[in-house]
Amino acid sequence: DRTLAVFTSGGDAQGMNAAVRAVVRVAIYLGCKVYFIKEGYQGMVDGGENIVEATWSSVSSIIHQGGTIIGSARCMDFKERQGRLKAAANLVEKEINNLVVIGGDGSLTGADLFRQEWSSLLEELVSNKTISQEQLDKHKNLKIVGLVGSIDNDFCGTDMTIGTDSALHRIIEAIDAIVSTAYSHQRTFIMEVMGRHCGYLALVAALTSEADYVFIPEIPPPDDWQTKLCKKLEQERTAGQRLNIIIVSEGAIDRNGKAITAEQVKKVIEDNLHQDTRITVLGHVQRGGCPSAFDRVLGSRMGAEAVLALMEAEDTAEPCVISLDGNQAVRLPLMECVKLTKEVAKAMAEKNWQRAVELRGKS
């Protein structure tokens, strides 16, 4: 039971490599055998060369690299039982009893389902003679620990997800660059930033760049936002400001749950104020580049704690997620955190903004 595998899944995030590195090195230090599973769940389903043993040196010189060196993917096969059956057979073949999954809430939900089905998957593999009864007996339990890698900071239970701080650095650099050119030409810039269900990036970017207005999913603006926005921009210009910055989260919505887009905001400003208005969509630049010092440390701490959690857990322990609580790495029940995260999305879908904000506050 000292064999473990680590994989990254869903959207990539800066700092994932630091986590992979820490998992591998702490595991080796503790005498474990460690595997990489390449390309997320797809590699687990396909097996073969996607599951390779990791060595101390295979994670050298990666802490400063963005993305994930072991690849990530979205995998439809794993959403089907047949796919998970193949994945289980591949893990048993390599005698892997412990998994560290680094990904967003979708990846962690998949891991929890896999864990719940584990016994029945193995029984099916015995009945179709893919594995022996002896292999089943040896692999009765699968222990799972999750780490949250997501630039959006959209997971309940942890103060910061791996990648968020680096994405913020990227956004702030871009806004600072835009501000100089906007100043010269007295322009208004609308910056669209990532965050499908979570306005954290937009909100913190707005606070730290002195933006004039921000649109986030959790707190939709008042119904007359067009009037309020124009009034605010006009006030600033009258007071001598030469530029305006507006941040729009990609998941921004109005009080009817309809998307508020950068294009729409631009049209409101041009039609009413006739200001020279431009849009910058930051897109994947936010995910790219080197991780910040914070994300390198966060990934390293979370990775090390994940291995310790696996080694200390009972064989039948429920999956946990490693979270940051203040300055402490803590272990929380994985499914409770996933459930809370899904409740925020549900509250937003039901237009219960107060509950959405309360739940975010709780996390």
Of 28 and 73, the one with the shorter C-beta distance to ligand ATP is 73
- Assess 110 for contact with ligand ATP (CB under 6 A): yes
Q: Are strands 143-148 and 98-103 parallel, antiparallel or unpaired?
A: parallel
146: exposed, middle or buried (Cβ count in 10 Å: 0-12, 13-18, 19+): buried
Residue with smaller CB distance to ligand ATP, 110 or 157: 110
Would you say 60 or 116 has its CB closer to ligand ATP?
116
Displacement of CA 355 from its chain's centroid (Å)? 22
Residue 304: which of 75, 21, 3 has the closest Cα? 21
284 binds ligand ATP (CB under 6 A): no
Contacts of 288 (CB under 8 A, 6+ apart): 14, 66, 67, 170
What length is written for the chain? 363
DSSP 103: E
For the bound state, the minimum distance from the C-beta of residue 40 to ligand ATP, rounded and expressed in Å, comes to 6
- Cβ 358 to ligand ATP, closest distance in Å? 22
- Pick the stretch among 3-11, 123-131, 239-247, 355-363 that binds ligand ATP (CB under 6 A): 3-11
Which among 136, 64, 87, 9 has a CA at the least distance from the CA of 297? 64
Radius of gyration of the chain measured on its C-alpha atoms:
23
Q: How far is residue 216's CA from residue 195's CA, in Å, rounded to a whole number?
A: 9
Q: Which is nearer to ligand ATP, 21 or 197 (CB)?
A: 197
Among 50, 150, 153, 164, binds ligand ATP (CB under 6 A): 150
Q: Does 220 bind ligand ATP (CB under 6 A)?
A: no
Q: Does 11 appear as a known binding residue?
A: yes
Question: Do residues 249 and 199 make contact, with C-beta atoms less than 8 angstroms apart?
Answer: yes
Per-position x/- string for 17-56, each x denoting binding to ligand ATP as judged by CB under 6 A, each - no binding: ------------------------x---------------
What pairing do the DSSP bridges indicate for beta strands 320-325 and 328-333? antiparallel
10 Å Cβ neighbour count for 81? 13
100 marked among binding-site residues: no
Q: Considering the rule CB under 6 A, would residue 11 count as an interface residue with ligand ATP?
A: yes
284 annotated to bind ligand: yes
Least CB distance from residue 77 to ligand ATP, whole Å?
7
Nearer to ligand ATP, 9 or 249 (CB): 9
Shortest Å, Cβ 111 to ligand ATP: 8
In this structure, what token pair is assigned to residue 79?
């959403």
Tell me the number of residues near ligand ATP by CB under 6 A: 17
Q: Which is nearer to ligand ATP, 104 or 157 (CB)?
A: 104
Q: Which of residues 72-91 bind ligand ATP (CB under 6 A)?
A: 74-75, 78-79
105 touches ligand ATP (CB under 6 A): yes
Task: State how beta strands 328-333 and 143-148 pair.
Answer: unpaired
Catalytic residue among 152, 154, 165, 212: 152
Q: What share of the chain is helix, strand, coil (3-state, %, to 5)?
A: 50, 15, 35
* Parallel/antiparallel/unpaired status of strands 3-8 and 33-37: parallel
Q: Which residue is nearest to ligand ATP (CB)?
A: 106
Distance CA 53, CA 33 (A): 8
Residue written as token pair 């193949």: 86
How many contiguous H segments (helices) and E segments (strands) does the chain have? 12, 11
The answer on whether 240 is annotated among ligand-binding residues is no
Note if 152 is an active site residue.
yes
Catalytic residues: 152
Annotated binding site for ATP: 11, 74-75, 104-107
| Residues forming the site for ligand ATP (CB under 6 A) | 9-11, 41, 74-75, 78-79, 103-107, 109-110, 113, 150
Annotated binding site for substrate: 150-152, 187, 194-196, 250, 278, 284-287
